[in-house]
Every structure is written in structure tokens, then in C-alpha cells.
Amino acid sequence: MSEELATGDAFLAESLRYVKGVGPKRADVLEGAGISTVRDLLQYYPRRYLDRSTVTRIADISDATGSVSIVAEVLVAGSAPGRGRQKRFEMVVSDGSGRIKCVWFRGAAWIGKLFKKGDRVALHGKPQLFRGSWNLTHPDFDRLDEGGPSLDTGRIMALYPGSAPFERIGLNSRSFRKIIWGLFKEHGLRLRDPFPESIRSRFNLMDGRVALRAVHFPKSQEELHAARRRLIFEELFFIQLMLARLRSVRIQRKGLVFGPRGGLSARFERDVLPFMLTGDQSAAIRDIVADTQSGQPMNRLLQGDVGSGKTVVAVAAMLHAADHGYQSVFMAPTEILAEQHYRNLISFMEPLGLQVRLLVGAQRKANRREILAELANGQVAVAVGTHALIEDPVQLAKLGLVVVDEQHRFGVMQRAKLLKKGDAVHTLLMTATPIPRSLAMTVYGDLDVTVIREKPAGRKPVKTLLRSEKGRTEVYEQVRRELAAGRQCYVVYPLVEESEKLDLKDAESGFAQLREIYSEFRVDVVHGRMSGAEKDQIMERFKAREIDVLVSTTVIEVGVDVANASVMLIEHAERFGLSQLHQLRGRVGRGSDQAFCILMADYKRSHEGQERLEAMVRTEDGFEISEIDLKMRGAGDFFGTRQSGLPDLRIADVTRDQAILTEARAAASELIASDVALQAPEHLALGLYYQRFYREGRGALARIG
């Protein structure tokens, strides 16, 4: 019996193609956005709701106003002058009580096509005062077509997330409401609730069928609230169920048991290490050593801000493995980083008589074959590399430890593959992205976490300066002074995926200009289109001080360590994400000299852009930065999407919904306490839902545990 039959929900798996109001063309576009089946569409939850109580009158906007929704009519719309990418789209709208101007600097071309005089529109954003009048910069918007329900009827109107492809084929909130309403009419509410009555009443959950209807077509704010709570609970519950399960499997698994720390470890700290470990570094090593003696496989996440010295901790862990005759694998997200680690590891490990090898994609075949043989016969203690390390032919004689650097940069599947290399093997994941507790509970619920907060002694805080075009000459002079004093400088340009060509032009014309300005210094460029070998060569020359100014796109973002670099100059800083800016800043301030991070930013920036820049100037604390970032972007975007391993949440927001998360967690661990419970007849539907959830890979990260 198929699962769908068992739950009586067969139509949920049907393609949207035959659904009324969809058709083949729309079905294709929807599928491109990940909405393929009836179920996907029903779970395409509204992003916002409008009713009289949630709409602000333009006349009521004041300094105290935060984000607002307004409903208004377009009075004037048009492109404002400007060159190429500078072109912007503006429109003035009125709601009868007053007027407000809306401005878009990016995407002006497609947004401009959407609006004309007389259109009714809902706009959402935080008004800013500009030259004495209120503006909305890059507001979210929903077009409210003629014939749509009027707010005056007292209805609550669901608004769905839109996109350029949707708009192009006329899919807007109104179409979604119509199509989904049709589904409810045709199929009635023959949905089966996965939660048995016992769980529903205990956690005060609305009936699942009612909740799904109410989230799209709420009859009142109270009903909407209860519906959302129920659906959020459900989503978080299944993730927690999976994490609880993985944890229970993991603690039953047997891990390799290493003995106490041995001679290599002692000699490393005594003879090789050029500095004293910080207290936090020592504590992290103690955690790792304890894990490797516990009898269970280590599954530890090492969190530490950029520059906190995670690499040395990893080295200590690998030496500990070597002390007990085990090999280690050290995986980095880029070739540049793998090369850098390789050189570091050689300097730390060869004096101790250990062999280190580098394995990256760009190597010659013969070379690679030789290295593979050396790994397989066990003579090599540590293999450093990129994802080339997890390709199938790589076999190690006695693998004991896997270290993944900058783990958030790896695809979930890549990590999973690596971990398959040995069941009892210990894993150490490292990340410079501090994760707020709330999120850690969801994403890393089955990992142990160690945090390094302390930075190595003698570091001066980086001075962060915000400058505009007007200050450019002065900025160049400041850079010149640093260069004249023998220091090096990074100049970074943003990389925007849609227009790789343009960006390259930015970096390249910047490069040409800087070469003239700093003609007495050596200026070079590195960018994403170069081959791995080319990039490595340039990075190597920068490290060897053969290059003074390194112009780049963001390829230098993670991990690169050049202590003599004292200036990080970021062009178009308003276009970078907050954690990216923080990562970039972390590239300087690694020596004992005063370092500078200079943010060059256009005045035409969105409200969020401004907040990001201000946060950068205000604080250098990675945890604070990540809290702000999380708050600004919401958990869904926090790490980027699927790449991050963050479960793909459709309605829950782990920062906002912490209370529900705690309840869902309690419910899940109670249920998992005995596996039998899931097979009980009253839990049949729940078990089937769980299986589907798991199959869909929505908890892919957890699956690697």
C-alpha cells in the first residue's frame, strides 16, 4: 500500500499541470521555483496578510514608524536618469491621505515594467526621510489587480512571495489565491492529519485540515494565528524528530578509541609551535581528546570567529590521531585555502617526521596516482585537499579523523560522502560563522559544540571606516602610507552572479586604475575566472610579499592568512552581505600592526544596506554580527539556502518561533524515547509523514550525522 493511499491524500502528489488555472506553461515556471506538486503548492505559504488592521495610512507615517504596509494607487511611474546599472525606477503613490515616493536602484528594468499609472499596489518597507519627504527604498510590493477583493469587505487577504519569472507569466497573489481556492473546492478537505488526537490536544494544535485552509484563507486574525502555530509546530516537529533519531543512532555507534595524548602532541607544543595556545584553544583540544576516548565517534563542531586560531586546534587533533597510528583528512572549500593549509601543515608536521600530501582537482594524473598510492599504503599521516578528497578512488589505510574547515561552505552531500569513508571515524567540523543558540538547536541538534571566543594575544582591533566617493582621494593616500611602511593591501570588488561579465569589468578596470595610482608598487589581480593554479600562484606571490596591492573579487573571502596585510579596502561595500563583510575584514589584523577595513559605499543604498554598514563600523564581534545578520535576513537566508544544510523551512522561523520550537522538541524526544511508539496504530499517519519528510531530504544536514 502506497503511503499516499494510506493517508488518503493521493492527489497531493499530483503534478500541477492539470490543476485548474495552472496549465503546462505555468506548471513549468512553478516547477522551476520548486513547486511541482499539489502538496508543494499548498505549502507555498503566504508571505504576508493584509487587512484593515495591518495597513498604515501614508499620512500616519512618522519618525516612530517602523516597517509598514500601505495600500495605494500609482500616480506617476518612470525610470529616472542614470547610466547603465545606475539607472533607477521611481514611482509616486497615493492612498488619499498622502503621497510617498518609491525608489528602486537595482532591478529597475523589470520592476519598471510592472507598474503604470492607476495601478493599485500594496507596498511594504521602512519609510526613510529624504530631503524632507518620505521615501520607500526597494520596498516589497504586491500588485493588487482590479477585481481582487477589497480590504473594505473586512477580509484578510493572503499575499504570496513573487518573483520576476512569476510576474512575466502573470502569476501574482491573486492567481495563487484563485488556484489554491480551486484546489480546496475540488478536493474538499480530504487531508489526513498526521498528529493523533493525543498530541493535538496536549499541545493545543488546530486540526491540520483546518489549518491548511485557514493559512491561505483566514476568517479572522485569531484563526490565522492558530493555523500558523499549528503548521510551524508541524514543520519543526519533524526536524526535531529526525535529529532526536540521529542522535540516538549515533550514541549507539562504536567509535575508534584513541589513548591519551602522546609524544607527537607533546613535541608539537614544546618544539614546533611558535606561540602559546590560548586558553580556549587548549580547552578545545581537551574536548577533542575526550571525545576520541569516549568509545563513540566524535561529531564536534568547532566555532570560532575569523582569526581565532582554529587551524592549530585541528593540527593538534590530527597529531593526536597520528600518535595512535591513525591518518587524518583535512578538507577545505577552495584550492587556495587547501594550499595554504598544506604549507602550514608541512611546517608543523614535517619537523615531527610526519608526511603531508595535497590533493586537489587541478593536479596532474601521474602525480595524483602517486599520492593516492601513498595514502593507501599508510605512509602519509595527513591528506589536505578540496572535495577532490572525497572522490571515490581515494582510499586511506587507516583513517581515524576527518576535519572539515569552513564547513558551512560545503554542500551537504559532499560532507555526507566524506563521512561515509568510515563509520567509526571521528569528525571535527570547523566554522567561523557563529551560530546563535536558537539556530544551533535546529541545525546542529545532533552535534556537540565547542566555541573559541578568545583571540590570540597582542591583536589590535581592526579600525573600520565608512567612506563614500568624495573621500576616495584621501582613502588612496591612506593606503599609500601603509604600503610605504611596507605593508600590503587587499582591494575587493563584489561579484554579482547575474552579471559576471560586468563584475569582472569592475575588478579589472579597478585594477588598471590602481596600477596607475600606485605605479611605484606592485599591483596584481585575482578573480574567480582564473584557474586554480593561476589563483594559487598569485596568492603565493602575495604571501611572499611580491605583490603589494591585491585586487580581487571575493575569492579571498575565506580563510586566507597573510599577517603583513594591514588594509582591506572593499568597493561597493553596500552590496555585500554582513557576514561576508565580516569575513573579509577578518583577513586583516592578523599581525601586531594596526589594521584598517575601509568600506567604500554608494549613498544610494537600501535601508538594510545602511544597517549592515553601520553594524560593521560599530562592532567587530562575530557573534554580535551574526545575531544582527540573522535578525535582518531571517533564518532561511542566514547561510544561503540548501548549501548551508539548514533545513528548508517553509513557514517556521527559528528565531521568531523559539517557544514553539521548544514544544516541538519536547514532543519529538518523548516520541523517540521508544521506537515502538512510531509504529503504534495511532501514529501510522505520523510515521508515514516522517518517512516522506526524510526522503525529501529536508533535513539533509542531519542525515550525515
Q: Which residues bind ligand ADP (CB under 6 A)?
A: 275-278, 281, 304, 306-312, 432, 456, 561, 563, 590
649 binds, among ligand ADP, Mg ion, none (CB under 5 to 8 A by kind): none
Nearest approach, Cβ of residue 85 and Mg ion (Å): 34
- Is the CB of 278 or the CB of 554 nearer to ligand ADP? 278
> Cβ atoms within 10 A of the Cβ of 24, count?
10
Nearest approach, Cβ of residue 616 and ligand ADP (Å): 18
Nearest approach, Cβ of residue 607 and ligand ADP (Å): 31
563 binds, among ligand ADP, Mg ion, none (CB under 5 to 8 A by kind): ligand ADP
Nearest approach, Cβ of residue 286 and ligand ADP (Å): 15
> Closest residue to Mg ion, Cβ-based?
559
Nearest approach, Cβ of residue 637 and ligand ADP (Å): 23
Nearest approach, Cβ of residue 311 and Mg ion (Å): 5
Nearest by Cα to 356 from 398, 333, 324, 322: 322
Residue that the C-alpha cell 506548471 belongs to: 27
Distance CA 102, CA 137 (A): 6
**Sheet architecture: strand order including 488-492:** 463-467, 596-600, 565-570, 488-492, 549-552, 523-526
- Is the CB of 109 or the CB of 276 nearer to ligand ADP? 276
- Is the CB of 269 or the CB of 624 nearer to ligand ADP? 269
Enclosing H/E stretch for 137: strand 133-137
308 binds, among ligand ADP, Mg ion, none (CB under 5 to 8 A by kind): ligand ADP
Alpha helices in 217-334 (DSSP H): 221-250, 263-267, 279-291, 310-323
DSSP for 30-61, written as a single string: HHHTT--BHHHHHT---SEEE-GGGPPPGGG-
Pairing assessment for the beta strands 140-143 and 399-404 based on DSSP bridges: unpaired
Nearest approach, Cβ of residue 310 and Mg ion (Å): 5
442 binds, among ligand ADP, Mg ion, none (CB under 5 to 8 A by kind): none
Residue ranges in contact with Mg ion by CB under 5 A = 559
- Is the CB of 205 or the CB of 313 nearer to Mg ion? 313
10 binds, among ligand ADP, Mg ion, none (CB under 5 to 8 A by kind): none
* Cβ density class 650-678: b for 16+ within 10 Å, e for less: ebbbbbebeebbebbbebbbebbeeeeeb
> Closest residue to ligand ADP, Cβ-based?
309
303 binds, among ligand ADP, Mg ion, none (CB under 5 to 8 A by kind): none
Nearest approach, Cβ of residue 290 and Mg ion (Å): 23
- Is the CB of 144 or the CB of 403 nearer to ligand ADP? 403
Nearest approach, Cβ of residue 488 and ligand ADP (Å): 14
- Is the CB of 142 or the CB of 405 nearer to ligand ADP? 405
Contact predicate 483/548, CB 8 Å? yes
- Is the CB of 306 or the CB of 322 nearer to ligand ADP? 306
- Is the CB of 559 or the CB of 645 nearer to Mg ion? 559
300 binds, among ligand ADP, Mg ion, none (CB under 5 to 8 A by kind): none
Residue 519, classified by CB atoms within 10 Å of its CB into exposed (0-12), middle (13-18) or buried (19+), is: exposed
Contact predicate 464/599, CB 8 Å? yes
- Is the CB of 308 or the CB of 386 nearer to ligand ADP? 308
Distance CA 12, CA 212 (A): 13
Distance CA 208, CA 377 (A): 58
304 binds, among ligand ADP, Mg ion, none (CB under 5 to 8 A by kind): ligand ADP
DSSP 649: -
**Sheet architecture: strand order including 128-130:** 128-130, 133-137, 99-104, 88-94, 68-80, 120-125, 140-143
